[in-house]
Structure 1
Amino acid sequence: MRRLLVSFTCGLLAVFAYSRVVSLQETHICLSSHSTPNFLVVSGGGAPSYNEIALEKNVLYFQRTLQFMGYNPKQVASIFFANGNDGQASVRYIDQQRRQQFKRPNIPYLQGATTLDNLERYFQQLAQQKSSKVSFLYFTGHGGKNIQDLDNNYFVLWNGQKLSVTQFSQMLDKMPSETPVVTMMAQCFSGSFANFIYEDGNPKHPVALQTRCGFFATIKSLPSVGCTPEVNEADYRDYSSSFFAGLSGRDRTGKTVSSADYNQDGRISYAEAHAFAKVDEKSNDLPISTSEAWLQNKVSPIQKKAILTQSISQILKTARPEQRYVINSLMKKFSLDKQEPALQVLGNIDNDKIPTNEQQAYLKRLNRELINIAVEKQIRTNGNQKDIAILDRLVKCESGSWKK
């Protein structure tokens, strides 16, 4: 059995907001005091047939992560999961006899179902809060590909409802521009949601006035590793598990992981957790952030090839600490020489040394990381102030953290 059991192909959706408690019709939004973040978790599959127990366990791990980092989930987290509290046995799992079973959701402090109405109501209420505090959105469910437009993919809510990039962005467009939003999504084709940095989620439109950034399990054209009805969390290998392990310093089984504080400033940023996941996650995912998606769109295939004629050591000169960690770690896996041109290094790897999809993904991550570093240097060197301002804004947003 593959070890890539949990996807968040599935993905998690949480939002940090700050404020007082606000009532909803079937649920409520917990908006806490200004000094404590509030987390909205929107999770689960669209129907019992694909509402795997891994999704429920993802929410429970998220709650444990909050506790480990000093937050009380009951006080700071609003949680939506699948069918909510209606009593339906909607969670699919495999029992010890290898039989498919269904059970009711068992998540502490569950407020309601994952529906479009609940999300719209939440953001409407949030828009009324004149807060300048960060909102962090985290989704765990299933994602779908928009064949006509990969820039407008969607994730699936309960009863098969869909929330597209455009719909999500338009919800945020109604919020105060002074309320920054950070997302962490790990569903299939999740990279499409990097477009939420634009008005209406349309890359042809201007960048939104509201500061937005996010982290995604994979690029817009690819699925992520699959959700699973298996119950053993020790076998789960997915982007969000690695991201939260890097962010908190503890994995989903409770074990301590190596510190992701790569710049040694005493806190773990989202960007550092993202870097940790690129090395830690044993899957064929290609994790990407908003700034990385933006950079990749700034360069043509021919320009990418030209960039890779430089030596890896030359490209590394302008890398941030978390980028340097990714490059050095991935190169070590394949015993690569930094002094050689990147294109030559990557092209000379014996295929016998990369027999698995996971190892091939590591090389693709290395390739993309080198491109990201080099394109950022080009943009800063070219001096286009508009582009530099957008890049600085994204990098600063991605450098935020949960640390109190």
Structure 2
Amino acid sequence: MLKKVAIIGAGAAGMSCAATLAKHPEFAVTLIDIDSHTGGQATSIPLDQSTHGASSLNDGVQGGSQIFRHTFQFFRRYGYEPQPVKLQVAFGKGRNFWTNVFPNALVDQHSAEIKKLLRVLTCVKYLMPILGIMPVKTILRLFRFSADFSNQMVLQLLALFLGTGNQTPNVSSVLLERLFNDPQMKLWEYDPDTLLPNLPLMYTFPNLNNFYRDLAAGLRVKGVDIRLNCNVTIVERGKKGVVLQLQDHEEGQSTGQPSTETFDDLVICCPADESKNLLGQNATWREKYVLGGVKFFNDLTITHSDSNYFRQIFESVYDPKLCAKPTTQERKNQIAFAEQEPRSQKDGWLGFRPMYYMHSYVSDSTKIEMGFNCSNYQHQFREELGENKPPLPQDQHVLQTIFLNDQEKDLWTWDAIDPSKIISYVIDPFLAI
């Protein structure tokens, strides 16, 4: 007898769950989502290729590291290949600038603290029940790291790792330890000299709209009933199963009459606050406790081509004044790499072409603004140019600026972005535990 399973949410988690259950013939899977597309926040937007050098952009999810092997398996199963890219970052501005591309003063200044942090992470690993649950900000104060090192380097790098924005200081310190030391979680090796290693390998994703379209088609062939533009308004659990009230939903409006359907099991692949609301009074005390322990804050992501704004906020072009002394051959080689005229490569760029950007606000160094140069990062821009070609002019690049937590929007500088150069914008909730 078939077991009817409903999955609420057709984002990455819901699609993965449906794909796993579809392998087993004893399950009849129904996948439900209020949106008109699968993939959740993993979306692509069209671009004017004649202006920006590519016809599309992955705007919600940029890429990942080699630990994303299960994601890569899904891509390859449907004929898509993740593409390698050597990571370049540019954090801070002026005296607070640092990068993993060439030696710089801030990294040299905090050399002793970088080595010390590696020892502290070892302590966290072996004293996890005590130290691991402490917030990162507490560990940094407890072991007397300087505020400059904590705010300009550690917290910014962890925000890049986790995407936790201005809530990063409240993240449990065990996550910082695991992201450097756990073979299943770490993105890169910890570099005891520079914190972030020089040009580590990352991967960019294929066109995510196309991938999730093909994945959805493949799931339908396997018998998965995918219902988009469908909202779950009520969840009732009882001895005979789970009863869902379903409502058609298009363009933000409910349409038609609601209906009910009974399933044997339910998997909720939604954010914690949505899951708690769905369960309502039927939630157990454990569910209320766990789901209620997550807070969400709204970010504003603006995709644009205002390179003047980017240059004012970040160090986006190579400046020899930012280099530290070339005291070793390795440092000389890194400077020589950064000084090159930029040229496209299969795995990134020759020359200083940062992809990830971050800086602290002058008025509050514990708060940050994030940015991406998508033209430097995503592989389709290099592929269209061809190998060993110079980049397009800066004012044709596709950039993203992420303003964190709308409760602190008095810090935001979004009104300085030229409105005529905005490609798209979206408000995204991000979570902090």
Tell me if TM exceeds 0.5: no
TM-score (norm 2): 0.20
Q: Which structure is higher in RCO with an 8 Å CA cutoff and minimum separation 6?
A: 2
- Higher gyration radius (CA): 2
